[in-house]
A and B are shown apart, each in its own frame.
Chain A
């Protein structure tokens, strides 16, 4: 834990597959996490993200594929010998041990001398701002404090890898936000290669160096948060992260798409391709009284969000656009909305 420099702890997952009976939990997943990187695996429940984490931790053995950390193959290594720190969803603190004994546990398992254990436990408690809580039992702590103990226990033994399994799920919103920042600060300070599992896209955007979006046991896209948000690889990623307007149509000219409802829009980035496409326009890129790509319709819902107004505008039979902006428009009003050609992201191939 004393080490500040980034260790040689690159995690590589290579073609990992796992099935339970007829259910494919992981269909050949490959990814790599650079030393010191914070990678989030984001996906809905049942996407295989938890199975992937268990394979990395060693609680599940894959049917195929390899897992390596810092170049060493750990696929068949028992979880006790992997030197991986993990924070469980419900923290899994040992209820019969006080805070200090919980944090000391991994050190004792490694045969660290008693005086050294004491010193490192105190250091770890200071790291998560729990000085003086050593004698308390987990049941005497708040949710946020329990989380800190779990975190201290997961990093006290200098793990090569830190795994976080939806650790913020049980916390209320305010506490969750401050814990997120604290985890990120700690992770940077220790230079720990970290894999974080969540189904919360907002959390993923805030915390990650990179995000891997999973669905149906495969990785749909992996990239930096802005890349995932601005240039999603497919419709699933576009819809899973943030709110989106997806317009389906056919390329009619090098810069024009003929939408299925008969409207024609001007977009960039078609690159001379042809065929059917989906155009992704984020609600905040939609503007009222836009100069280009105009749609006229009725506001069916207007929600005040504090920092913005969110409108749902019906522009055609069954076609609704989400608009996020600073204009207060009441429901029932007729508005014209649109987007600039460079604000549409092209997703190739649409059914």
Chain B
């Protein structure tokens, strides 16, 4: 064994030792329950639960709705988040810090509290409707709660930071001289943005889209509270199966399907992002 081999072996041993506690924790608290869930879903050696989930039109609709909501939420966070991230990344150091503080501020309160706050805001007599009626913009209150609109508003609010931060980082890494060069070579600002900044920040966009989309697929609290039972996502379906119907096998099958679809979406998005950036 050469000294270089020995050094490599020592480094590998060190890496294993350092990641050991985290690995054990994940095995015990994540991998083991996951395997148990899988076992539950095929209890008695039967795939009946899967068959039911994937053939019943009602459940297929819920799965489709879940993907639709996740896609809309992703597009909305991108449309709202990119400009914010861009302005933050291209302003001075002080404003950058202020911006990051405001983006991270919502993380200081629990998602449950924030969702209840939206219920106060969005109700028939909520802040939003009363303000709009008071200003004479509308005559009767808008239906913003217990429907898709409410769920979308709540989810976009919760997930916006997951889009802003990676895009912010990507914009900040674009050499400002490249934009100057493009402008100097005859590109108006907006064309310089489309041809230089946007393509060079696609990796940040891909990261944000992946995060928001996969997190959306598993959303539970927001649709439960702001959807008022009328917007059902897969996670809500699973909860219902466990809490009200005690159908562990079916809940396990739905969970496994959700996990598989999430992984597929993750794989698909990163594939698209790779070919785009190549």
Binding site for B on A (CB under 8 A): 57-59, 78-86, 88, 90, 92, 94-96, 105-106, 109-110, 153-154, 157
B185: contacting residue among A59, A95, A96, A153, CB under 8 A = A153
Listed by A's residue number, 22 A-B pairs whose Cβ atoms lie within 8 Å are: A59-B183, A59-B184, A78-B183, A80-B186, A80-B187, A80-B189, A81-B186, A82-B184, A86-B181, A86-B184, A88-B181, A90-B175, A92-B178, A94-B178, A94-B195, A95-B200, A96-B199, A105-B185, A109-B185, A109-B187, A154-B185, A157-B186
The 9 closest A-B pairs by CB, nearest first: A109-B186, A92-B181, A106-B185, A92-B177, A109-B187, A86-B184, A79-B183, A106-B186, A79-B184
Q: In angstroms, how far is the closest chain A Cβ from the Cβ of B174?
A: 10
Question: Do B186 and A83 have beta carbons less than 8 Å apart?
Answer: yes
Q: Closest chain B residue to A163 by CB distance?
A: B184
Decide: B183 and A90 in contact? CB cutoff 8 A: no
CB distance from B197 to the nearest CB of A (A): 11
Bound CA–CA A86/B186 (angstroms): 11
Give the distance to chain B from A262, nearest Cβ to Cβ, in Å: 56
- When C-beta atoms are compared, the residue in chain B nearest to A165 turns out to be B177
Cβ–Cβ < 8 Å partners of B195 in chain A: 94, 105
A323 vs chain B, min Cβ distance (A): 45
Within 8 A of A (CB), among B179-213: 180-189, 191, 195-196, 199-200
CA distance A86 to B187 in the complex (A): 14
User: Which residue of chain B lies nearest to A111 when distances are taken between CB atoms in the complex?
Assistant: B186
Enumerate chain A residues within 8 angstroms of B183, measured Cβ to Cβ.
59, 78-80
Bound Cα distance A98, B55 (Å): 50
Residues in A neighbouring B277, C-beta threshold 8 A: 96
- Name the CB-closest residue of A to B199: A96
Which residues between 46 and 79 of chain B lie within 8 Å of chain A, taking CB atoms? none
Taken together as a complex, chains A and B put the C-alpha atoms of A26 and B188 apart, in Å, by 27
Say whether B186 contacts A92, CB under 8 Å. no
Instruction: Please determine whether B184 and A57 come into contact, CB atoms closer than 8 angstroms.
Output: yes
Asked if B177 and A90 sit within 8 Å, CB to CB, the answer is yes
Report yes or no: B200 in contact with A92, Cβ–Cβ below 8 A: no
Q: Which of B185, B188, B189 contacts A157 (CB 8 A)?
A: B185
A86 and B182 CA atoms in complex are apart in Å by 10
Give the one of B175, B184, B195, B277 with max A CB within 10 A: B184
**B185 CB contacts on chain A under 8 angstroms:** 85, 105-106, 109, 153-154, 157
Residue of A nearest to B188 (CB): A80
Which residues of the partner chain B approach A94 to less than 8 Å between Cβ atoms? 178, 181-182, 195-196
Question: Judging by beta carbons under 8 Å apart, are B200 and A96 in contact?
Answer: yes
List residues of chain B with CB within 8 A of the CB of A110. Answer: 186
Residues of A near B184 (CB, < 8 A) are 57-59, 79-80, 82, 84, 86
A335 to B187, CA, bound (A): 65
If A80-B187, A94-B196, A95-B200 touch, whether A105 touches B182 (CB-CB below 8 Å) is yes
User: Chain B's nearest CB lies how many Å from the CB of A278?
Assistant: 41
Task: Report the minimal beta-carbon distance from B9 to chain A, rounded to whole angstroms.
Answer: 34
Q: How far is the CA of A299 from the CA of B188 in the complex (A)?
A: 62
A86 to chain B, nearest CB (A): 5
Give the distance in Å from the alpha carbon of A239 to the alpha carbon of B175 in the complex. Answer: 36
- Give 6 new A-B contacts, CB below 8 A, not counting A84-B184, A90-B175: A80-B183, A88-B181, A92-B175, A94-B195, A105-B185, A157-B186
Assembly CA distance A79 to B182 (angstroms): 10
Interfacial residues of chain B within 210-268, with CB under 8 A of chain A in the complex: none
Q: In chain A, what residue has the closest Cβ to B179?
A: A92
CB distance from A81 to the nearest CB of B (A): 8
Residue of A nearest to B185 (CB): A106
Q: How close is B277's CB to chain A, nearest CB, in angstroms?
A: 8
Q: How far is the CA of A57 from the CA of B184 in the complex (A)?
A: 7
Q: Which residues of A contact B178 (CB under 8 A)?
A: 92, 94-95
Which B residues are in CB contact (< 8 Å) with A58?
Answer: 184
In the bound complex, what is the Cα–Cα distance between A78 and B184 (angstroms)? 9
Most chain A CB atoms below 10 A, which of B177, B199, B200: B177
CB distance from B263 to the nearest CB of A (A): 29
Chain A residues with Cβ under 8 A from B191's Cβ? 109
Q: Which residues of A contact B177 (CB under 8 A)?
A: 88, 90, 92
When distances are taken between beta carbons in the complex, the residues of chain A under 8 Å from B196 are 94
Q: Tell me if B180 and A92 are in contact (CB < 8 A).
A: yes
The complex places the Cα of A13 from the Cα of B130 at a distance, in Å, of 61
CB distance from A87 to the nearest CB of B (A): 9
**Cα(A81)–Cα(B186), bound, Å:** 6
Residue numbers in A under 8 Å from B199 (CB-CB): 96
Contacts of A105 on B, CB cut-off 8 Å?
182, 185, 187, 195
**Chain B neighbourhood of A85, CB < 8 A:** 185
Q: In the complex, A92 Cα to B182 Cα: how many Å? A: 9
Cα–Cα distance between A95 and B177 once the two chains are bound (Å): 12
Q: Which residue of B lies closest to A59 (CB)?
A: B180
Question: Please, how many angstroms separate the alpha-carbon atoms of A82 and B191 in the complex?
Answer: 16
- A78: which B residues are within 8 A, CB to CB? 183, 188
Please indicate the chain B residues that have their CB under 8 angstroms from the CB of A83 in the complex.
186
Give every chain A residue within 8 A of B175 (Cβ-Cβ): 90, 92
Q: How far is the CB of A131 from chain B (nearest CB, A)?
A: 22
Most-contacted residue by chain A among B178, B181, B183, B189 (CB, 10 A): B181
